[in-house]
Amino acid sequence: MIAYLKMFLLRIQEGIVYSKELRLFLSNHPLLILDFGFELVLDPHAPYGFDVEKTLPSRQWIGEKLRTLDRSLLQDLLASTVAALDREIPGLGETVAFDVKHMYAWVKENNPRVFSKESHDKHHRPAGDPDCRLGVKRSTNQEQPDGSTKEKKEVLWGYGSGVAAATTPTYGDVILAEHTLPFNEGDVTYFEPLYQQTVAALGRYPTNSTADAAYDAWYVYQKAALHGGIAAIPKMKHGDTVFVPGTAGVPLCPKGLQMHPTYQYAHTYGYRAQLYRCPLSFPSVVERATCDHAQFPVAKGCKKSVNIEPGGLMRITLDRTTPLYRAIHNQRTSCERINSQAKELGIERPKVRNAQSVKNLNTLTYIVINVRTLSRAKSTNKGILQMN
């Protein structure tokens, strides 16, 4: 197993795309075969005392070993790089950024030059990779000649690689956790497994977190709220509810009146909620009060449920104009830099045909990136000690 693990790390490091090329590379570098620890087929007449072709596994077996690599072993190896980086980098993981990188599956449905009537059918299962799924990479509005706009969606068959990352000005970017899912999964789906892996790898809870608006969910803010930090995430426009400034999430009704709290209850989505009602009808009916809103005569006015968990209140009361928010939100670019490095190592278009191989290649890629960062961190710290 160790020999194969070293071989696959070499594949990432050297930018080797196909198993056939990997085998050819090793056959041209027989000393690596010795170093990796493969079981040798001895031949006293061969230059190095063993038969290279018979020692190396076949191309098919290399692909099979990539698919069946122990996921827990790879995750432990990634976590060990995080622990090593934590010892070298003070304050690592105080702020954690989350993001998802799209990946193209190796299927004909992703080739725009090949016609396939199933290319946009989400129920279709590509023969090249039955595990991949159809998802929307990007949605943009294009202006038409008449001045109107038309939505254009770019779809692809593939996977999403979610990462949790941290950055420091001196040492650069570090991957704290990774998680791969089919591309039809929403970005916020990645948050919980990434957060749990991050806590396990660091041995402590992050203080702050940041991500794009796709992570605008109350339970994302809850993690930061429970540990004295903030979640620097842009707020999506869900409805048009306006809240009273300086209050703990007290809403205004559509007519601009401060609503009245009635009772709390357990919401079906898993959080405590406060129900607010029309101030003209609760706690008592205001004499001769009238309102032209449609709900006033039929339901005693409007009502609004507010999430009163710490994360729910942070989401609606967080001031997104402060220097603190901006400084934390700017650290989201660490994920973009990690994604750029991973793309250079070939993560965007993996030449494998099943989800397990994709997941394993992703983890191996992030291990290589972290090892490179660890090498720079050790070199930096050594230079600092020599200066002192």
Query: What DSSP element (H or E) covers 4?
Result: helix 2-13
Mean pLDDT of 218-247: 90
pLDDT above 90: residue 154? no
3-state DSSP call for residue 211?
A: coil
Task: Copy the structure tokens of residue 200.
Answer: 């396990």
pLDDT of residue 114: 81
Phi-psi sector, 249: left (phi>0), alpha (psi -120 to 50), beta: left
pLDDT above 90: residue 220? yes
Euclidean distance between CA atoms 314 and 151, whole angstroms: 33
DSSP state of 164: E
pLDDT of residue 349: 95
Beta bridge partners of 158: 104, 133
pLDDT of residue 147: 60
pLDDT of residue 25: 97
Beta bridge partners of 322: none
* Phi, psi dihedral angles at 217 (to 5 degrees): -130, 145
3-state DSSP call for residue 349?
A: coil
pLDDT of residue 24: 96
pLDDT of residue 112: 82
For the chain, give every domain's residue range: 2-67, 90-234+325-352, 242-317
Euclidean distance between CA atoms 280 and 291, whole angstroms: 9
Give the rounded distance of the alpha carbon of 210 from its chain centre.
11
- Residue with token string 């930090």: 229
pLDDT above 70: residue 151? no
CB atoms within 10 A of CB 282: 18
pLDDT of residue 266: 96
Euclidean distance between CA atoms 332 and 209, whole angstroms: 9
Beta strand pairing call for 172-182 and 133-143? unpaired
At 138, the pLDDT band (50, 70, 90 cuts) reads low
Mean pLDDT of 77-91: 96
Mean pLDDT of 219-242: 90
Euclidean distance between CA atoms 178 and 71, whole angstroms: 12
Mean pLDDT of 273-279: 93
Give the rounded distance of the alpha carbon of 350 from its chain centre.
18
One-character DSSP codes across 256-308: SPBPEEEEEEE-TTSSEEEEEE-TTTSSSPPTT----STHHHHHSS-EEEEE-
For the stretch 106-123, pLDDT in tens is 999 998 888 777 888 889
Mean pLDDT of 305-318: 95
Name the packing angle between helices 59-67 and 2-13 (round to 10°).
Answer: 100
pLDDT of residue 255: 86
Mean pLDDT of 207-226: 96
pLDDT of residue 199: 97
One-character DSSP codes across 81-130: HHHHHHHHSTTTTSEEEEEEEEEE-SSGGG-TTS--TTTT-TT---SS-T
Question: What whole-number percentage of the chain has pLDDT above 90?
Answer: 77
Give strand ranges (E) for 118-191. 133-143, 149-168, 172-182
pLDDT above 80: residue 23? yes
Euclidean distance between CA atoms 42 and 52, whole angstroms: 9
- Residue with token string 């099979």: 64
* Phi, psi dihedral angles at 271 (to 5 degrees): -130, 165
pLDDT of residue 309: 96
Question: What whole-number percentage of the chain has pLDDT above 70?
Answer: 95
Q: How many CA atoms lie within 13 A of 1 on its CB side?
A: 8
Euclidean distance between CA atoms 82 and 54, whole angstroms: 38
pLDDT of residue 139: 59
Fold designation for 90-234+325-352? Nucleotidyltransferase; domain 5 (3.30.420)
pLDDT above 60: residue 243? yes
The overall average pLDDT reported for the chain is 92
Q: Which residues contact 80 (CB under 8 A, 6 or more apart)?
A: none
